[in-house]
Amino acid sequence: MDIGFIGLGNMGAHMARRLIEAGHQLVVYDTRQEAIGNLTARGAKAARSPAEVADAAEMVMASLPTPDVVLAVATGERGVIEGKRVRRFVDFSTTGAVMAQRIFAKLAARSIVQIDSPVSGGVTGAERGTLAVMASGPRAEIAAIEPALKVIGKVFFIGERSGAGQTMKLVNNVLSATAMAATAEAMVMGAKAGLDPRIMLEVINAGTGRNTATEDKFAKAVLPGTFNLGFAAGLMLKDVKLFLAEGAALGVPTEVIEAVARQFETVCTELGAEADLSAVVRPVENRAGVEVRAG
């Protein structure tokens, strides 16, 4: 299958690589020439713009950082919408339902079907092909591209409504963010009281407090002090704010998630939006005067 792929960052590069290894012919584009070169070395063809990608492939996939970037790539000047061959736009990014619906309508006017397919599972999931792919859009269109999606991970059909996949992704991501924020405070409190961080994680993971942060992220990035999960705190804050906006529109109370947003805002203010997701523990450590580390 001929596939266009736009956005070769921490996630996109691995997804594109897996598609090449599965035998698909890829045309790729990124703003960074180095990222393009890494894929052309594996057999992909390079394009000079999103429109050029969409000239070469009926299906164009995208993995991009923010809603505004997705909008520009999909519908802006020299965007996918100007492509001569494209018929499907598969978006793996996290944009929120409102933006997904906006892009869907613009592309539909040019007879291009948007398939909203945000993913979860992090860089490791992208590398291993074990991502959760939350696809929404016309069921027949999703069925037609499912073999390619399965190369990336496990495919879940969320619904035919545009943006349904985005809502599912935000529900997932705020739980991940909450686990990180709550675990940061809990682990710092235990460390301040003199508990061994590794023993804390062993006990938590054998009990009812276990979560994705205790089972994986803290042992991998916080205890060794590497802070290298590969997902920026600023991107997580963006996802949390998108969730809060959708919750407000639906009239759903979000007091816990509002507190989580404040914690990530502190990280971004004090350490920068590019700080790793796992750095959410550092402002808590700084205020408590103790670090959660173990060799």
What's the rounded Cα separation, in Å, for the pair 218 and 230?
13
What's the rounded Cα separation, in Å, for the pair 167 and 163?
6
Distances (CA, A) of 159 to 100, 156, 163, 164: 14, 9, 9, 6
Spot the catalytic one: 84, 106, 150, 169.
169
Q: Alpha helices of the chain — where are they, by DSSP H?
A: 12-21, 33-40, 50-56, 67-75, 97-108, 122-128, 139-152, 164-192, 197-206, 212, 233-250, 255-271, 281-288
Task: Name beta bridge partners: 167.
Answer: none
241 is catalytic: no
User: Are 119 and 137 spatial neighbours (Cβ–Cβ below 8 Å)?
Assistant: no
Q: What are phi and psi of 89, to 5 degrees?
A: -120, 115
Which amino acids are annotated catalytic? 169
